Amino acid sequence: MNKTEIAAVLVDIGTLLELKGENPFKIRAYQSGARVVESLGEEELAQRIAAGTLEEVKGIGEALAQKITELAQTGRLGFYEKLKASIPAGLVEILSIPGIGPKKVKALHDKLGIDSIAKLQQACAAGRVAELEGFGEKTQEKIVEGIRNREAYGKRHLWLEAWQVAEPILLGLRVLKGVLHAEACGSLRRHMETVGDLDFLVATKTPEPIVAWFVQWPGVKEVTAQGETKASVRLGSGIQADLRLVPPEQFVFALHHFTGSKDHNIQMRHRALQRGLSMSEWGLVPAEGEGTAKQKAEERGRQTDIKTEEQLFAHLGLAFIPPELREGLGEIELAEAKKLPRLVEESDIRGVFHNHTTASDGHNTLEEMTAAAEALGFEFLGIADHSKSSFQARGLDEARLEEQVAAIKQLNAAKKFKTHVFSGTECDILPDGRLDFSAKTLAQLDYVVVSVHSSFKQSREEMTKRLIKAIEHPHVTMLGHLTGRLLLEREGYEVDVDKIVDAAIANGVIIELNASPWRLDMDWRHWRKAAEKGLLCAINPDAHSTAGLAHFRCGVGAARKGWLTRENILNTRPLRAVVDFFARK
């Protein structure tokens, strides 16, 4: 196990102990132990485990050191397994409802005997939860809403989670004997923000052993269908996966078909028909009744020349359409006119702006974050910790912000890292649209991100007014996570996106594409129109740890879905140009 996995187990243990009503000191020891493990370097952790010096680290006692060592060396922990087994699975499931922590779960269990989501739902319907001490009507309503969302969202998965499940399978397929091509199609390939199921496609002449390999993949929990050329499974994470195997000459047609989207496919099929062709996962063949026998034979001859998607699109008079654009939203018309944009690529990104450190609610220090940014090859890194009103996130007050500005200045002057660090803030937008810091305080910074973290329930009009007031503030550089949504968990607050976009353009303010896989906010569906109007984008991982910086890649995926080019995105500019951009504000 690596340190992130170990830390996750420790956090889990803390939660389970809390469910059992254990001693708070013991609980806290696991929670802080997790933070300590997360903050150690991967190498340092390995060395200390090997040398048996883990206990010398502040915050890690003897018992914790033993458990971390067992996890690191065996990937398992007897204590953890026993603890899990001692708690009804339903209680842990209830924990996944937003707004219910271990204390509440314990109270529900102790006082109402609730040990499953179904029982919780019944108790809410009968009004019994509201009557409990520490709950009330509001909490009960929130729980009901949480259960409803869970049902609605339960069948989908975040893109990144789906990718993390799919990637090792894909890599495994690609090195199997007899596999000529393998691809993960569907919404995953199109980079949708959430994914329903995985669609693997393989070109091969020998399907049987590949099906056998797939259904025996260690992550498979259940085989739901198995045939000669296809199989469906449910994986450990709950996600379903289909595998289809086709002969090599059919691969490109199946690849296009199973990439979708359905709307794109319908439009493509229509276009093919206009040219006397019938398009399907099997191939592109003359449509019934159309053309002479000679034409059909000629067409079949030409089919064998179609080996790549480029050639398939070209055969229908189209430029290649990147998978991200295949949503049936006008991409075919632009591909015909050869006017598709050159989409931004991961390699275009030279740095990111909105990130946190241990000064607020991040897990890594300024230096660690900078080192990680350097390792990613970034020219610049923006630090934007929370401001004082976000006290739950240990937001910085003026004095601590000033200290951070000085520390960043020093870090840059020391030239220890190749990455230049910008000092910024993620300044709260207060409920009335004023900012959490004065203009004088903001003036010391290189740039200012402003975000909403409170009073989510305001009306659409109020929220729109609130955001526009913040956008009009002369020191604001960019607006963070436009709607505050958490994918599959929480709807964003109501806001008039068009008005916000217009206000941002009018005030020379950037809107962030928050690249955190849980957010991807502003949504890709708004970006094409907004960028055409002249809005500038910043792709920001909103990283709360060194690992989180890599989430900028999810942002690039969303930006591509939003038709964005390099020119639309501040992160693609060289350091000097970014410095100039900030200086003009």
Provide the binding-site residues for ligand DGT, judged by CB under 6 A: 186-187, 192, 195-197, 199, 257-258, 260-262, 265-266
- Residue numbers 434-473 binding Zn ion by CB under 5 A: 451
CB of 323 to Ca ion, least distance (A): 13
Q: Which is nearer to ligand DGT, 197 or 523 (CB)?
A: 197
Beta pairing partners, 204: 179
Pairwise CA distance, residues 510 & 353, whole Å:
12
Q: Which is nearer to ligand DGT, 187 or 483 (CB)?
A: 187
Dihedral in degrees, nearest 10, Cα atoms 328, 331, 337, 342: -170
- CA-nearest of 423, 482, 431 to 459 is 431
Name the binder of 261 from ligand DGT, Zn ion, Ca ion, none, CB < 5-8 A by kind: ligand DGT
Q: What is the DSSP letter of 222?
A: E
- CA-nearest of 424, 538, 535, 519 to 481 is 519
Q: Which is nearer to ligand DGT, 192 or 556 (CB)?
A: 192
CB of 170 to ligand DGT, least distance (A): 15
Pairwise CA distance, residues 138 & 156, whole Å:
27
CB of 415 to Ca ion, least distance (A): 48
Residue nearest to Zn ion (CB): 451
CB 468 within 8 A of CB 502: no
* Single-letter residue type at 375: A
Name the binder of 428 from Zn ion, ligand DGT, Ca ion, none, CB < 5-8 A by kind: none
Pairwise CA distance, residues 201 & 255, whole Å:
7
CB of 255 to ligand DGT, least distance (A): 11
196's CB contacts (< 8 A; 6+ apart) are: 155, 156, 157, 186, 187
Q: What is the DSSP letter of 172?
A: H
Q: Which is nearer to Zn ion, 356 or 561 (CB)?
A: 356
Pairwise CA distance, residues 101 & 573, whole Å:
43
Q: Which is nearer to Zn ion, 370 or 451 (CB)?
A: 451
Q: Which is nearer to Ca ion, 197 or 428 (CB)?
A: 197
CB of 479 to ligand DGT, least distance (A): 29
Name the binder of 152 from Zn ion, Ca ion, ligand DGT, none, CB < 5-8 A by kind: none
Q: Which is nearer to Ca ion, 36 or 211 (CB)?
A: 211
Name the binder of 416 from Ca ion, Zn ion, ligand DGT, none, CB < 5-8 A by kind: none
CB of 507 to Zn ion, least distance (A): 20
Name the binder of 265 from Zn ion, ligand DGT, Ca ion, none, CB < 5-8 A by kind: ligand DGT
CB of 424 to Zn ion, least distance (A): 12
Pairwise CA distance, residues 542 & 549, whole Å:
8
Name the binder of 262 from Zn ion, ligand DGT, Ca ion, none, CB < 5-8 A by kind: ligand DGT
Tell me which residue has tokens 């189209």. Answer: 318
Q: Cα angle vertex 218, ends 216, 220, to 5°?
A: 70
CB of 390 to Zn ion, least distance (A): 8
CB of 39 to Zn ion, least distance (A): 21
Q: Which is nearer to Zn ion, 129 or 543 (CB)?
A: 543
3-state class of 294 per DSSP?
helix
Q: Which is nearer to ligand DGT, 187 or 568 (CB)?
A: 187
Burial group, residue 563, by CB count within 10 angstroms (0-12, 13-18, 19+): buried
Pairwise CA distance, residues 174 & 214, whole Å:
12
Name the binder of 451 from ligand DGT, Ca ion, Zn ion, none, CB < 5-8 A by kind: Zn ion
How are beta strands 230-235 and 220-226 bridged, if at all?
antiparallel
- Residue numbers 159-218 binding Zn ion by CB under 5 A: none
- DSSP assignments along 302-357, one per residue: HHTT--SHHHHHHHTT-----GGG-SSSSHHHHHHTT----B--GGG--EE--B--
CB of 449 to Zn ion, least distance (A): 8
Name the binder of 260 from Ca ion, Zn ion, ligand DGT, none, CB < 5-8 A by kind: ligand DGT
Q: What share of the chain is helix, strand, coil (3-state, %, to 5)?
A: 50, 15, 35
Q: Which is nearer to ligand DGT, 262 or 302 (CB)?
A: 262
Beta pairing partners, 511: 479, 537
Q: Which is nearer to Zn ion, 232 or 389 (CB)?
A: 389
Q: Which is nearer to ligand DGT, 162 or 537 (CB)?
A: 162
Name the binder of 125 from ligand DGT, Zn ion, Ca ion, none, CB < 5-8 A by kind: none
CB of 239 to Ca ion, least distance (A): 10
Burial group, residue 378, by CB count within 10 angstroms (0-12, 13-18, 19+): buried
Pairwise CA distance, residues 472 & 470, whole Å:
5
Contacts with Ca ion by CB under 5 A lie at 186, 197, 199, 242
CB of 229 to ligand DGT, least distance (A): 16
Residue nearest to ligand DGT (CB): 260
Q: Which residues bind Zn ion (CB under 5 A)?
A: 451
